[in-house]
Amino acid sequence: MKVRVIFHNDDFTSKEFVVWALMTFFHKNEIDATSIMSEVHTKGKAVAGIYEYQIAETKIHETITAAQEQEFPLKLTGEQVG
């Protein structure tokens, strides 16, 4: 099963953290990470990528854990594709 990983906007998580998380956990380059972060900020959410279920769950968990360590309330969700 494929899962679409979605970042959701909030008023507290820094743009810099979102870019860092996309580069660190989703292996995006800085240009792509910044573009995704901008979409999250302007549209309220954006797709970080589509992954196999277990990989998506791991990426979501790692990202949320890192956000919590920085006291950011970042929300990511997984949405089944197809």
**pLDDT per residue over 12-62, tens digit each?**
999 999 999 999 999 999 999 999 999 999 999 999 999 999 999 999 999
pTM, 2 dp = 0.96
Question: Under a CB-based contact definition with an 8 Å cutoff, are residues 3 and 53 in contact?
Answer: yes
Q: How many CB atoms lie within 10 A of CB 40?
A: 23
Determine, yes or no, domain membership for 45: yes
Instruction: Tell me if 16 is assigned to some domain.
Output: no
Has residue 15 been placed in a domain?
no
56, two tokens: 């998506």
The total of structural domains in the chain comes to 1
> Strands across the sheet with 45-52, in order?
45-52, 2-8, 75-80
What CATH number should be reported for the domain holding residue 66? 3.30.1390.10
Identify the domain containing residue 54 by its residue range: 21-77
